[in-house]
Amino acid sequence: MKTFYAKKPEVNHDWIVVDAKDMPLGRLASQVAARLRGKHKPTFTPNLDCGDFVIVVNADKIVLTGKKHDDKLFHWHTGYTGHIKSLTYGQLLENTPDKMLWIAVKRMLPRNKLRKRYLGKLKVYGGAEHPHTAQQPKAVKLTK
């Protein structure tokens, strides 16, 4: 039996909407990353972008389990000597919940040339509204 290999013109990119209300951050991010890559499709090809466009709404209602709200830190470097900045995930959830989920999904994607393309298909919104109704996205229920 020959191995199936999807070609670019054969790949179909669907639009889906995911409600992040009361979902744990890590589980949501891992399932969204798998949808972005297309691992849920039988035509998955690792070196080709065959995933879906994912719209995440209610990102401000994501749940952090345990003491992650206060203890887990998000670090970044400004580029200047000694300028490492930090925020707790609780502060990040209050200020920019869409960025928190975006960073979690980014870190779960493979570190290759396709990652930028995958992240371009991810749309995260803090509220329940999104401007992508013209694409007629399908609502998808992810497991908790």
pLDDT for residue 1 is more than 90: no
Predicted pLDDT of residue 55: 98
Spatial separation of the C-alpha atoms in residues 132 and 17, rounded to whole Å: 10
How do residues 115-137 score in pLDDT, each as one tens digit? 999 999 999 999 999 999 999 99
Percent of the chain with pLDDT over 70: 100
CATH numeric code, 13-140: 3.90.1180.10
- pLDDT tens, position by position, 9-66: 999 999 999 999 999 999 999 999 999 999 999 999 999 999 999 999 999 999 999 9
pLDDT for res 39: 96
Domain extent listing, the chain: 13-140
Q: How far apart are CA 73 and CA 86, in angstroms?
A: 6
Residue 75: strand pairing partners? 86
**Pairwise CA distance, residues 60 & 72, whole Å:** 17
Tokens, residue 8 = 């670019």
User: 96 pLDDT band (50/70/90 cuts)?
Assistant: very high
pLDDT at 2 (0 to 100): 87
